[in-house]
Structure 1
Amino acid sequence: MNDRIPVTLIETLDARTPIRLTPAQAGGPIHTRSFTGRFRDLRRIGAGLLLALFFATQWLTWEGRQAVLWDLGRQQFHIFGATFWPQDFILLSALLIIAAFGLFFITVLAGRAWCGYACPQSIWTWIFMWAERVTEGDRHQRIKLDAASWSVGKLARRSAKHSFWLAVSLATAVAFIGYFTPVRTLVADLFNLQLGLTEAFWLFFFTAATYLNAGWLREKVCVHMCPYSRFQSVMFDPDTLVISYDAARGEQRGARRKDSDPRAQGLGDCIDCTLCVQVCPTGIDIRDGLQLDCLSCGACIDACDSVMDKMGYARGLVRYTSERALTGGRTRLLRPRLVGYAAALLVMIGAFTWALAERPQLSLDVTRDRTLYRENQHGQIENMYSLKVINKTQQARRYQIRLDDERFELHAPRELQLAPGEIVDVPVSVALLDQAESVAGELRFAVSDAAEPERQVSAPSTFIAPRVR
């Protein structure tokens, strides 16, 4: 009895047709070719604005201090005129949730547009690739340099490239750490070689991380390490705008003379120049269809459009389009999932704005002394408390403490004077006025702004007294 499973040969490859692997498939280094185009210009403008925001913001001043500073030592986070405290952590959580929904909205609308135009990994990778072109030449020159044996010229070019990379990495580390420690002091200590151990460690860490991520790992971070590349495809729908190759128009691909009629030769518009592969930062061939490695940066569109212009063909052989449009339909912008994300995003932004505007600028925490109670000199039962008062504003304020309960008498400072951002611990005592009354329940302290009494906060605590028999 023959138990072998029959095999049917479906397709065979012509042995005369060479198998051409993309750089990503071959596993070698990806050397991108220089190019021009509208999407490259758009990406440069966006990246330039983001880089200016990142490198310049920490140098701004606000009322005599650094405008944006996350002061971890004092647990104060300054963002221009606002100061946030650990108690405001819920606002940071809300902001991260809003950012996540914004990313979901963008993904449903235009695929991985975030990766191609705004992701720091992509922006720094493009900077490092530009440094390669400046120091080692364009794509064919870098390939030739890789294959050449070591010489003084090769050593000089490689040294210049890595020096450029390290300089950008160090500048990035200084800018990042400058948001957590005063940047002017940091830069002065760096030039004077007087960095503390903590600052030196983090400076080395972020310099090395930037150098490795943007210089050596590059597309591997996007393809293998970034979780977004793994789950973003499940958010696509037939109307999501992604970079696509129009196979119906481009096939059969092949070389031809510019003045020839491709239809007479049985050819499509694709001349198989592979420029779309040569400019891709992840080294894929977009003509193989939508792939996990595609960053939606538009480089292949710019390269293909330039070829179409030279050949006299219409642009758009590779373009941003949807699966529905490729099959002859019409892309729907208003669809339930996209509208739902947009509505949720608007509601969350509105709620966050309201919470930010109504955020209390005064904080009160009450801690009861561990002693149960004591009897004061007047024979009254007395409990001790510690009130932690925080002035969250950027101005000196006067505050008043009170206890709105006629059964008790509060012994506390009549008024507190707090500097901007100051925290004080105020010891107070509360006495029970009616000794015949047995009390073991809740009471509530309140602190109000002396200039604006309507601005107040309160915090509960308990009062303990012996049981009256």
Structure 2
Amino acid sequence: MTERIPAAIIETVDPRKPIRLTPAQAGGPIHTRSFTGVFRNLRLLGAGLLFLLYFGTQWLNWGDRQAVLWDLGKQQFHIFGTTFWPQDFILLSALLIIAAFGLFFITVLAGRVWCGYACPQSTWTWVFMWAEKVTEGDRGQRIKLDAAPWSPAKLLRRGAKHAIWLAVSLATAIAFVGYFTPVRELVIELFTLQLNPTASFWLFFFTTATYLNAGWLREKVCVHMCPYSRFQSVMFDADTLTVSYDANRGERRGARRKDSDPRAQGLGDCIDCTLCVQVCPTGIDIRNGLQLDCISCGACIDACDSVMDKMGYARGLVRYTSERVLEGGKSQLLRPRLVGYAAALLFMVGAFVWALDTRPMLSLDVTKDRTLYRENVQGQIENMYSLKVINKTQQRRDYLISLGEGPFELQGTLEITLAPGEISNLPVSVALLDEQDAGNHELRFAVTDLSDPASQVSSPSTFISPRVR
């Protein structure tokens, strides 16, 4: 006979209490309530700085060009006084790895604060919710407007909201595309209806993407589409700071008079006002514990603290704290995982700065002509090569082209002058001086900066000639 495994029924919900679904759990739209507080001000400050950086940087000039411009056509990526080339993409890879480790570090330290304060999805969503408040009113007014039949007033409010959404989306698209094409020309061409098809497509694409993501999808991107929300919890430990509800202090919940003694009524500090749910951009109830949907924005902390102030209770019923502290212990800042991420991050940042400082400002690529060899007028065997020389500096430079030791003679132009960022494709020939050395040989081309002899690059190639019988 098959052995049966005994099972016990565990009640996780008090059957005497009705289940209260949040708007997100009920599948309805999330209408957030207006609020003020310390964390809201921090988020506004951070968002303001990010918006200033994003929308303002491409309007700065550096000399006779846009300060930050990623010119895909010329394969030149200008960031203020530095120009990067496709050969420097390894630095971009390193920068992305550093950013990933930085995200790991901040997640172990303070949970999902990136999502709440700096993520573009969250930041733009707050802007779109502000547009809702301006055009449709606060939470209660928006709920009534949703339920009301269509009328000229409702159509006007909805039209104004979507007009602001589209204006912000278009501005976002212009700013983004403006990093890849001169933004001043882009704006002029847009308003004179002279945009080329490529720019028109990308403006339409990013306007639509912003409008849908921040206006319609909102928290669904954070909960269902963002991969970070899926794996961030594995980086948490007992000392990670998260937005948490202190159940020991808050339970049992219940309404009461301001001047009453909650302990005499068997109540905790939570008055069950649900303001923490009403201000949450993802519509969760933080009192149910740590949840996947929480983006650690601190909105519920601000709302709860305002209620505690009105009731005369101590702040911090909902706060940034760790699991260990909630269990009565003391949080540990210096722990192996956090120290490990910090050490790796410092090492990678140092290596990146060193690589950026020592990267060669001169590039050389050698391509051998498809013709194997030929005989010149002196009866010597010649091979033809194409040298691609790139001046990566921001100054005009004079360069000397040379050849390594061997029975060869370099013929053609040996000195060239390149403007800042100029690329020169230079044809040269190499002649074999001694027929006794016929056969295949390795040779090395070198280009030296005449104003800085220490700045030199070289590239190998092959010399081919018929063997003497």
TM more than 0.5: yes
**How far is the alpha carbon of 1:467 from its aligned partner?**
1.5
State how far apart, in whole Å, the 1-side matches of 2:370 and 2:192 are. Answer: 50
What corresponds to 2:230 in structure 1?
230
What corresponds to 1:337 in structure 2?
337
What corresponds to 1:360 in structure 2?
360
What corresponds to 2:289 in structure 1?
289
**How far is the alpha carbon of 1:86 from its aligned partner?**
0.6
State how far apart, in whole Å, the 1-side matches of 2:11 and 2:466 are. Answer: 93
What corresponds to 2:27 in structure 1?
27
Deviations 1:419-464 (A, max 9, x none): 1111111111111111222341210000011211111100000111
The AA in structure 2 aligned to 1:41 is N
What corresponds to 2:204 in structure 1?
204
Range moving further from structure 2, 329-338 or 399-408? 399-408
The AA in structure 2 aligned to 1:67 is A
Q: How many residues align?
A: 468
SS in 1 for 2:189: helix
Q: Retained in 2: the 8 A contact 1:401–1:412?
A: no
Q: Retained in 2: the 8 A contact 1:110–1:240?
A: yes
Deviations 1:110-152 (A, max 9, x none): 0001000000000000000000000000000000000000111
Taking only the aligned residue pairs, the percentage that are identical comes to 79
Structure 1: which 5+ runs fail to align?
A: none
Range moving further from structure 2, 376-385 or 434-443? 434-443
State how far apart, in whole Å, the 1-side matches of 2:208 and 2:9 are. Answer: 52
Going from structure 1 to structure 2, the CA distance change for 1:412 and 1:261 (only over 3 Å counts) comes to same
State how far apart, in whole Å, the 2-side matches of 1:13 and 1:357 are. Answer: 61
State how far apart, in whole Å, the 2-side matches of 1:439 and 1:410 are. Answer: 18
TM-score by length of 1: 0.97
**How far is the alpha carbon of 1:311 from its aligned partner?**
0.5
Deviations 1:359-417 (A, max 9, x none): 11110000111112111111111111110111111221111100121411100213111
Q: Retained in 1: the 8 A contact 2:407–2:432?
A: yes
Q: Retained in 2: the 8 A contact 1:438–1:467?
A: yes
What corresponds to 1:157 in structure 2?
157
The AA in structure 1 aligned to 2:71 is D
**How far is the alpha carbon of 1:465 from its aligned partner?**
1.6
Structure 2: which 5+ runs fail to align?
A: none
Is it true that 1:42 corresponds to 2:60 in the alignment?
no
State how far apart, in whole Å, the 1-side matches of 2:323 and 2:244 are. Answer: 8
What corresponds to 2:81 in structure 1?
81
In the TM superposition, 1:67-466 aligns within 5 A as 67-466=67-466
State how far apart, in whole Å, the 2-side matches of 1:8 and 1:407 are. Answer: 89
SS in 2 for 1:455: strand
State how far apart, in whole Å, the 2-side matches of 1:11 and 1:394 are. Answer: 71
**How far is the alpha carbon of 1:19 from its aligned partner?**
2.5
SS in 1 for 2:436: coil
SS in 1 for 2:452: coil
The AA in structure 1 aligned to 2:118 is A
State how far apart, in whole Å, the 1-side matches of 2:438 and 2:369 are. Answer: 19
State how far apart, in whole Å, the 1-side matches of 2:268 and 2:431 are. Answer: 93
Range moving further from structure 2, 267-276 or 398-407? 398-407
| Runs of 4+ in structure 1 over 6 Å off | 3-8, 12-16
The AA in structure 1 aligned to 2:287 is R
SS in 1 for 2:453: coil
Q: Retained in 1: the 8 A contact 2:363–2:392?
A: yes
Alpha-carbon RMSD: 1.6
**How far is the alpha carbon of 1:7 from its aligned partner?**
8.2
TM-score by length of 2: 0.97
**How far is the alpha carbon of 1:301 from its aligned partner?**
0.2
State how far apart, in whole Å, the 1-side matches of 2:8 and 2:114 are. Answer: 44
**How far is the alpha carbon of 1:202 from its aligned partner?**
0.7
SS in 1 for 2:359: coil
